[in-house]
Structure formats: structure tokens, C-alpha cells
Structure 1
Amino acid sequence: MRRVLVTGRGGQLATGLEAALPAQGFEAILVGQPEFEFDAPATIAAAFDAAAPDVVVNCAAWTAVDAAEDNEAAAFRANALGPAMVAAQCAARDIPLLQISTDYVFDGRKGAPYLETDAPNPLGVYGRSKLAGEWAALALHQKAMVLRTAWVFAPMGGNFLRTMLRLGAERPELSIVADQQGSPTAAPDLADAIAAVLLRIRDDGWQDRYRGVFHATGTGFTTWHGFAEAIFAAATGPRPVLRAIATADYPTKAVRPADARLDCTRLERTFGVRLPAWQEGLARVMRAIA
């Protein structure tokens, strides 16, 4: 197993995998629009035929959470029908699939970190579409893994860290939600974890215990306000005053889970893989930006 097809070229995680996979001896083949387009199913089969992959990591997704509320059909095409098409291609070739998913499949009301066995209850279109994608991948392919992650940030792309740095340079004071909990996850750390998982599969061969859902986030928990404080503590530019506010003070079209912490024990127990502390991931990404 050497050739890894990575969908979602240009995205945060796909960009991380472009560096992480070769470091473990894999050949990373990145595909994206327009030659790989879920709205044009023929391009999916063509991309598989051209790449002849040994394993697939499906990062391609609709990730605009609020916009999904007004574009439900498009979100489901990308996040549910897309994984179904990818899983069907993988099943036909009998190659493993790693499908990327999200903490938004949960409602955030448990009051403790979520296990993979906890019942999902998404609050919005984005979470529902990603959950449907999980179900599609697992229903259509016996060698499918679902990897749920959360609060992904990277040196590039649209993410909370880059938004904070931009707004911090423009405004003397920022209001940040302080009653939502989660785990910031550096895309380079997540990419390294995925590469390590694929290395285990390559060395040991596919095993039934690899099938199903796994959680993978930066280790430790914080709030958006706490994350913002850490970002500006690590930054060299302006440091605005950060005002803690409640979710109710910052209404959005899509409802966010208030406590979407994920328990990542199964990933560590199965593959020996544990992501670094989220603070270490932040330092890594800040170094890359600098």
C-alpha cells in the first residue's frame, strides 16, 4: 500500500497530508475541483482510474456551516452523496477508505466527552449531512473508517486562528464566545496522525477492528475564548482586549454544539496514535505562519 488518493485539494487537511504522507513513505495524489467534482459523478470514477490508489482519504466536503442552512441540497450532495460515491469506488477496488467527519454530529448536551458509541443528534444541516456521509461510507464499504475531528486550524485557509489574527490587527477589542467547549486541532498534527494510521494498516494489513468510527482531535479542551487568548499570547502582532460573551450574544444561522468534546481513546488503543496537546499544535502552526 503506497499510493494515497487525497480528495479536497487546497483544503487545510489535504494540504497537511501533502507533507505528512511522503514523510511516511507514501505517494500523495491530491485531487480537487474541477477534475474531481461530486456534482459530476463521472469525474469521480475518472480520478480513481487515473490515480490507481491503494487507499483513499476523503477530505472533500461542504464546510460552510452557516451557509449550509440555506443550501441543504448542495451540502448533502457534497457531504453525503460524495462519500457514497467515493465508498462505492473503494469497494469496487477493495481498498481502504478513511472518511473525515466532524463533532457537529453531536448536540453537545452530554456534559462529558463523546465516545464513538454515543448516539449522534446533529443540530443543523451541516452536522446532518456529515452524519449521512458517515452512514453512507460504512454502509457501502467494509473497509471504511470514519475519523471525526473538530476545530481544525492551519497556517492557511479559513479558520478561527487566522480570523482572530486578522480581526486582532483591525480592532482594539474582540468579543469571543466562552460557553462552547472543544478541542482545537492543528491540521498538520491531524495529518501526521492519519499518516501514522495508514502506516499501521500498510504494515499489518486491514483488520476488522479498523472498521467504524474513531475520534481524533488535539489533546485537551478549551473554549473559543480560551483558544483566542492562547492565540494572541503566541502572536507577535497586536493584542486586542478579549471580551468573554455567551453564545446567545453572538447569534448564528446554524446552532453549534455547546460541548462537543471528543474522547479519542479508541484511536490510541487501536493504532497507538494520539495527537499532541492542542497548545503544541497552536505553537506548530504559529511557527509556520511566522
Structure 2
Amino acid sequence: MRHTLPIAPQFYVTAPQPCPYLDGRMERKLFTALQGENAERLNNELSKQGFRRSQNVLYRPSCAECSACLSARIRVADFAPTKSQKRVLRKNGRLSRAAISPWATETQFALFRRYLDHRHADGGMADMDIFEFAAMVEETPIRSRVIEYSDPPTQDAPRGTLAAVCLTDVLDDGLSMVYSFFEPELANDSIGTYIILDHIAVAREAGLPYVYLGYWVPGSRKMGYKARFKGLEVYRQGAWEDMTDPSDYDSETHPLSVDPIAEQVAKISLPDSMPTKG
């Protein structure tokens, strides 16, 4: 019988580049490849430690003098919609949901381009073409779904009109919202909030305890909406904690706010107690 030893993932750090959330900051990421037969278990484990997936890579911020970015997740059992969120549910109640395999379409890409051009024209994805978009959606070694939200069928659009899309990973303890985009004209309907509310409903139906939202950044206006969900937890100093008042969280820089890379890697827990390599 043939025996093989598990290959421990190796961790790397990106070169500094301008922070997309806070002006005047430089960001750096700690990352590892997501591949092989242990990919799903690795993604499950590291997602619980503040990592996010992008195609075949898992990453989390590791900036030299800043620890503002905090991974955020909603505890489904403790979530209850606010009055404004109930209005969002009613306003978008016409939309139908379809969960499909991670396969990119031209209709999705057209919506993606409209979204970027109106909301993130100067962002890091602004120049993505259809091939890069397809890679973002389709290059996943784990259980992923594309969740489409569509307006009702009409005579001009018998299949309905695509209104929003979310690339979602199915973890062993929840749903991870990898990336979402929507029709810019529907921004006044708070459709981005609606997508999160619907994911909470899906997770509840599936018996999954969490919905992972990505990063919340104190001091970043574009991230402020995440703090409005009840049952929100943030990952800070190696543990999940209930989020308190957003003003309690500091976005100031400090040269001692981040552990050295070697210490960060040494504290990472892996499936089956696999050793880490920095």
C-alpha cells in the first residue's frame, strides 16, 4: 500500500500597495495556495481565522503598522432585522433567487461591468475583462455557488432581468460571501443589504450558524453598512468577539499593532495539526 505525507501549506506576504479602504495607508497580505485534496478543509479552517478566498488563494491582511481590517461574520441565530432592514426586504421582495454552479455568463459579466463603471471605476478590478471575470467565478477548488437575483419575467424579458449576483462559498459552518455586484440603478433599494439578508435566510434554512461578510474596516465609509447587522462578530487578536459600538474600534496606525510574520504563521491552526511553513 502506498503512503504519502500531507504537504503543509506555505505562507507568503505580498509587497506593500496602496490600501483600498483607508487613504494614505499601505496594505500587505499574508496568503497561501488553496489546492489539492485538502483544499476544502483548509478553506474551512482558515476562514474561521480571518482568511478570505480569492480563486485559488486564501489571504488575510498583514499590514506592517495597521490592524484595522477585521473579518466579520453574522451569527444567524442571534440576527433579527431592524425596521430599515425589514423595509429593504419588502422593497426587494419581487426578486427571485437561483443558486447555480460557478459558471460565468456574458449576462453576469455585463452586469459586473455596469456595477464597476458606476461604483468602482478607479478600483483594482476596473480593468477586468471577461476572461479574468470567468477565472474569478470558475476557479474554485471548493464548494461554491453563484447566487443570481432576478426581476420577474416581462414580455421584453421572458426569463426575467438579472439584478444582482453573489459568488458564495459553502463552508462547514456557514456561507461566505466572496463577491457580490448588482444593477447600479437599484442602489437606492439597498439591494446590497438585501443580498446579505437573503444569505442569512439561506443559512438559517440550511442549519448553518454563520454568514461571513469579508472585512469590516473602522474609519472606512464604504464598509460602514456591515456594522448595522445584529449578531455581528469580528475576528480580533486571534478570536471572534461580539462587535460593540463601531466607535470603540481604532483605525489608527501603530508600529507594534501587528505581530511579526513568523509569529502570525506560527499561530495559524491547520486541519489534522499539519505544520505551517513561513
- Is the TM value for this pair above 0.5? no
If the TM-score is normalised by the length of the shorter chain, which range does it land in? Answer: under 0.3
More strand by share: 2
More helix by share: 1
Larger RCO, structure (CA 8 Å, separation 6 or more): 2
What is the TM-score of this pair, normalised by structure 2? 0.26
Q: Which one has the largest radius of gyration?
A: 2
What is the TM-score of this pair, normalised by structure 1? 0.26
